[in-house]
Amino acid sequence: MTSGYAIVAVLVVALGTILVGTYGLRVSRTTSDFYVASRTVSPWWNASAIGGEYLSAASFVGIAGLIFAYGPDMLWFPVGYTAGYLVLLTMVAAPLRRSGAYTLPDFAEARFRSRVVRAVASILALAIGWLYLLPQLEGAGLTLNTVTGAPDWVGALIVTLVVTVNVMSGGMRSITFVQAFQYWLKLTAITVPIVFLIVVWQVHGAESMTKPEFPTFRQDTKVAFSHQTTIHAEQSIFIKGSGEIDGLRIEDAGLVLTNGYHRIGQGSEFTFPQGGAVPHVSTMDHNTNATWALPESSGQKFPLYGVYSLIIATFLGTMGLPHVIVRFYTNPNGTAARRTTLIVLGLLSVFYLMPPLYGALGRLYTPELLMTGQTDAVVLVLPTRMIDGIGGQLLGALVAGGAFAAFLSTSSGLVVSLAGVLSQDVLRLGGVRGFRISTVLAGVVPLAMTFVSTGMPVADMVGLAFAVAASSLCPLLMLGIWSTRITTVGAIAGMLAGGVPALTAGLVTMFSDADDSWYEVLLSRPAAWTVPLGFAVMYVVSLLTPRHVPPGVQRAMVKLHAPENLGLDGSGPSSADERS
Amino acid sequence: MTVPPPQDGPAPKPTQRVVVTSPRTRAPRARRPYSGTREINEQSELGAVYMRTLIRAQRRLGLSVCLVVCGSLSVLPLLFSIEPDLGRARVLGLGLPWFLLCVATFPMLLLAGWFYVRQAERSEREFAELVERP
């Protein structure tokens, strides 16, 4: 569905982002401006910015795609992404802000007074950030591929360039404006089209989405296969077109696709008949719309384990994401940090009402995506498919622009926080120049990774980043904030015990072809075993090494928990005298 | 104050009892100006108790809000798995899982967040009153 309007929308979003960023350049002057906008951002601005940054490719296109393909089990993604903020609010928001550090490694050092704890936290923050950037870039590639037919790497390259240039020139102050603007843009871009789509669905007779039938083509549908695809047909079906099927070259002719598996060559284009049952990509189970709408219909092994692992990863992983954490330092104090988080909860709740609607409508209107496997494209394809003419094209352009905004904003946030970590902990280059060099590095690494990864759904990839965060940085934050017994040795052991297995599992699933072995789900959804492992190791090792409790832990606790306006710092009488 | 020299004249009056009052600035109330703030800053035992009370109250509040909300959400997959008929039940024209996860969850999360913020700010206010009392 190549559409001129969509290309224009993507360009406008990219240029607009750069413009707003340049405007920020004039405002941001000092190093502190660069890192955290000098901490002068109001809760509404900040909450919009957090929302803008958090609603990533996974939220904008990925969730709808997964729901479309696998049914209500995937609803735990939006629920978990939101509930993660409740956990963040209740357990870490205010203390994190009161710790007064710029990045997560700063927090680790402030709390544990240990360079080693800091170093481990830095490496994990980098790994999580890059793991999270990768799906953003892949999503951008997919979007550009869907709307213009450009190769996948073009979108990834554009996002990397825009983000790197933007972050280098403006730093975080401009990013705060950009992000806040992006939230509202994304909300508009996903809400306006779905309103029209639902009206159209009503006009078409409000066809039930849960009929006991396999998804069928609503009209004769021409499908282009951009990759070699193995599909499985449940019923034999007569198709026309050109391309390669099971090694047989066909030029503009008809063919009966018997039921069973078929390999369709790259670049094939076939027209599937109206009313025919849609073949599925071989890795996906056939479901009637009725069974699709039931829980545990995803056809994955051990669905209950998968769901619980997802719940654990998303509920606890949010607090460990580097770009989320860095936002909290831009609140003026702990109380404001709490209020900001509450507003974020509201903003996310509104947004997440939309993606499931796209997923469900997709079953009726764009079932061929189940065959090409590009389920993530459902949000992008639906408007032009359901509404003919210029209206559909404009709505499609709006969605494409919103999706691009999603990639840009999340990537910006990640690059800012990763650049902060890189310049302070890895390259040890201070000042604005160090930040700029780090920014380039932060953007280039995931761009390189996109060339080697196998295409898995973006929301699943994001889920892996959440799992690593939940198993390593979440125990550090939770136990570090609420327990005085955690020792430096315990903190390091716990982060490694949870983070390393989760990271390994994630990389294995991401860079090797998924197979059907029984332990596959343990690797693709590792949180259910790595998170308890991280927590348990951190706590038990701490109890075993009581002599390594960091010095000044009481003072650190006062700083984390006492309201700022009381002038408490637990710093002892001498410094209180100096101050007066 | 010097005693005036004795003068001749009328005989001195008989001894008189006078009530002498004094602001008891030094004696037992000496520790009074040590507010809770100072106790905490000097890391005294009492200060540690103040802080422990605050941290415990906040931790209890945070954990209970979390456990109630996340706990009740986490039961759902198990329920749907044990009792597949629940998955087929319909509410307002939607399947029960869809209704619960798409519609009902979000207001509940917001409500829980609002409750938490209110309670956390209240316990901080109480803590402030406690430690700032002169």
Is the whole model's pTM more than 0.95, yes or no? no
Residue A263, amino acid: R
Which residue type does A24 have? G
Which CA distances in Å does B38 have to A333, A574, B18?
A: 22, 11, 40
Rounded CA separation A136/A459 (Å): 10
Question: CA–CA separation, A509 vs A505, rounded Å?
Answer: 6
φ/ψ (deg, to 5) at A232: -125, 120
* pLDDT given for residue A165 in this prediction: 83
A570/B41 touch (CB, cutoff 8 Å), yes or no: yes
Tokens standing for residue A467: 């799992």
H or E stretch at A455 = none
Residue B8, min C-alpha distance to chain A (Å): 58
Architecture, CATH, for domain A4-204+297-453: Up-down Bundle (1.20)
pLDDT digits (tens, 9 = 90+) for B74-97: 888 888 888 877 777 777 777 788
Spatial distance between the Cα atoms of A16 and A162, rounded to a whole number of angstroms? 10
Average pLDDT over residues A55-83: 87
Checking if the pLDDT of A570 tops 50, the result is yes
d(CA B99, nearest CA chain A) in Å: 10
Portion 66-95 of B in contact with A at CB < 8 A: 66, 69-70, 73-74, 77-78, 80-81, 84, 87-88, 95
Q: What is the DSSP letter of A61?
A: I
Please give the Cα distance from A233 to A258 (Å, whole number): 7
Average pLDDT, chain B: 78
- The answer on pLDDT for A13 being more than 90 is no
pLDDT at A352: 92
* pLDDT above 60: residue A111: yes
A469 — pLDDT class (breaks 50, 70, 90)? very high
Interface predicted TM-score (ipTM) of this complex, two decimals: 0.85
Backbone angles phi, psi at B92, to 5 degrees: 50, 40
A328-343 b/e (C-beta count within 10 Å ≥ 16 → b): bbbbbebbbbbbbbbb
| pLDDT at position A46 | 84
Chain B residue numbers touching A345 (CB-CB < 8 A): 109-110, 113
Q: What residues are paired with A579 via a beta bridge?
A: none
Residue A283's CB: how many other CB atoms inside 10 A?
13
Res. B68 pLDDT band, cuts 50 70 90: very high
Contact A566 B128 (CB under 8 A): yes
Ranges of beta strands (E only) in A275-332 are 280-281
Taking one residue from A and the other from B, the number of pairs with CB-CB distance under 8 angstroms is 150
Do the beta carbons of residue B80 and residue B97 sit within 8 Å?
yes
C-alpha dihedral, A47 to A51 to A92 to A477, nearest 10°: -140
Percent of chain B with pLDDT over 90: 20
pLDDT value of position A496: 93
Residue limits of CATH 1.20.1730.10 in chain A: 4-204+297-453
Distance in angstroms (rounded) separating the CA atoms of residues A406 and A404? 5
Cβ–Cβ gap B80/A356 under 8 Å: no
Q: Which two tokens stand for residue A348?
A: 């996310």
Has residue A443 got a pLDDT over 60?
Answer: yes
The residues facing A244 across adjacent strands are A249
Min CA distance, A91 vs chain B (Å)?
6
